[in-house]
Structure 1
C-alpha cells in the first residue's frame, strides 16, 4: 500500500490542485483588492486570470455575495471558470465551504442522537467520471443505511440527481422516506432512528442564487464539490467520494483543517466511491493531517466487479436494487455497499493503524448489519418516523 503524508497548508504546496504547480517565486494568497482597496468581482477574476491564488477571505467574500443574492450570473460564472482554470487550493475551497456553511439553516441533533462528534456522513459528489459514462446505483445511500444498522448515527447530506437519473433524495423518496420535513424534525429523526437526511435545498436555500450561473456554464466547477463539505449537521466523521481527481485531495485538506475524521476516496475507474472494479485512491484525514493511500479490494478478498455490475437506472430501479441488498442479496452491489459502509465505520472509529486491516474489521460489522436485518429495520423505522 502506497502511503504519503501531508500537512495541508492554506496556500501553495500540495494544497493546490494536482497538475497546477505554483511558479517559482510567486507570492500566493495575497488578498485580491481593487483600486479602491475593496474586493470586487473584477479584482478577484483579474487575480485568477493572472494565475494568483486567492485567500480564504477572498473566496468567503464571493460566497457571501452569492448567499445574499448579490452575485450577478455573468461575473459569478467568470469567477468559477477562472478559479477552475487556475486550479483550486485548499484555502479557496475552505473560504467557499465555510461561508456557505455559515449561512446554512442550523441542524440541531438531540441528545438521543449522541454527540455530534460521533456522527458520520456517507456521501459522494456525484458526477462519476468513468470511461464508459456509467451511472451507478446509489452506493453511498445504501451504505448509510448499513452504517446506521451497525449502530452509528448517520447525518446524510444530499440532494436530487444532477448528472444521473437518481440522486440520494430521489432514492430515499422512492423507498418511502419523506424528505420535506422542517429542520427541527430532521434533527429529531436522527435521535429516533439513528439516521436522518439533511436535504440540501432545505438547509441551503440561499444557494439557489447560484443556479443561473451554474446552469449557464454547463461544466463542473468548485461548487460541485461543496456539498460534502457543507453538511449542516456538522458530523465529526465522514466517508466522502470525490469523482474529480484534481479536487479529491483538496477536499481532504479542507476537512483536515476542520479536525474532521474522514476517508476521502476516488475509484481509479472514475467513480466517486470505493470501487470493487479495481484500486481506489484514498486520503486518510485525522489529527489535522492527510495521508495518501491506496485501497485494493483484492487485499480485502472482495471479488472483482465491472462497472456494468454496478450500473444504476431510475429511482424505481435503484430502489429495487436497494431492497435486494438490504434483504441480504449477494453480488457485486452488496460488496461495493459493504466496502463503502466499512469506510464510514472506520472513519467514525478514528482510522488508526493499517487501513486495509481497519476496513477488513469493519466489513464484518457491515455484513452483520445487513445479514441480521438491522439495516433493513433502520429503513422501516425511518419511513415510519417521517410519515407520522
Structure 2
C-alpha cells in the first residue's frame, strides 16, 4: 500500500461555487514535457519526458472523462524522486490536486508522483502547470513514458516488495490488457524575468478552428455561451499568465545579512513587511503551543477560483471569508518552530507566504524591569562564544543567525515597539487558546 507522509501539514479546500471538471480548459494546451503513464493494475506514474530545467513549482490535476466521483476511486499518492521543499496531494470533488514547490530552482526529471486507485473505470487525464525560469529538454532525454533506472531504483528503495510494480519494457505481457490511454495537457509558464511562451497549442490544431468559423456563417461573430472544446481553448492573455509568488521571510533577512550586527541593524530587518496586502496579527508570533496568529490576505489569482490553503509548521484553527474578498486564516504554530509557511493555491496561481514566528524566551527575569538595549548588546557580545553557551537560544549547538532572529523578535515583542512596517490593526499578542 502506498503511503504519503506529510508531517505538520494541514490542507483545507474551500468550495465557493459548484465545482465542475474542466481540466483542459483550466490548465491550457497540449505539451510533451510530462506524461501520465499506466503502470499496471490500478497504478499510474506521473513522470517527466526527459529533464526540465530550473523548476520552482508544479501544480498537477488528475481528472476523469466519466461521471464517477473521484472520492469513490480513493487515490493514494506517493512523492516521486524529486526533493521538494513542499509536497501535498488533496482529493477534491473536481479532481486530484497535487502541489509541490522548492525554495531554489532545480532540474526535474524522472518520476514526479505515483498514484494508486482503489478502482478505475476509464483512463484518467493529466493537466499541470510548471513555473520555471526556463524550460527545456535535454538531448539525451528518454522517450515519453519510458521508465528510467532512477525510477526503478526509487521503486525498490521506497516500496515494500509486495507493492512494487513489475518491471516492464512498456509492452503488455501476454494475456494482459493494453494500458488505457488518456490525454495529457500541460501549460509551461516562465517567470517575468524571462520571455514568455505564448503558444501551447500545436499549429496543426488551428485549422479545425478556422473550419468551424466558416461553417458558423452569420453566427461567427457571436460568443457561444457554452464553454469551448479543449482543443479550441483560447490562450490566456500575457498579462494574465499564471503566477507562482514566493515571499522572502524576515528570518531569511538575518541569514543574508552581512556586516556588523548591532541592535539597530537587527531590529531594522523587521521594518519592512513581508508582503504588501498580507498582514499578520500579532506581527511577531510565538511557537509556544498556545499563542495564535491570524493572517489576513486575498486569495491568489482569480476570485472565482477555488482556493486551497496549506499550512506547514502550524495548525489551522479557523478559516473565514472577510469583506472585500479577503480571507482570515487563524493558525497555531507548532511548538518550538522558527519557521512556518502558508501556501495558497487558487486555480493556476499560488502564493507562498512565510509566517513570522519564534520560540518564546525570557530576556530578563520577571520583577527586574523591562528589557533594554543593554540586554541586546550583552546578548550580541556572546556571538563569538563557544558552542553550547547561553547565546544558543534554539538548542541546536550553534550560535548563528537563528539565535539573532529569535532574540530580536522577542526583544521587539517585549518592548512593545515593533517597527511600523510590521504593525497591524492588532498589535498585541493573541490570547492563549483555552
Q: Normalized per residue, which structure has more strand? A: 2
Q: Normalized per residue, which structure has more helix? A: 1
- The answer to which structure, 1 or 2, has the higher relative contact order (CA under 8 A, 6+ apart) is 1
Q: Could you say which TM-score interval applies, normalised by the shorter chain?
A: under 0.3
Q: TM-score, normalised by structure 2?
A: 0.21
Q: TM-score, normalised by structure 1?
A: 0.23
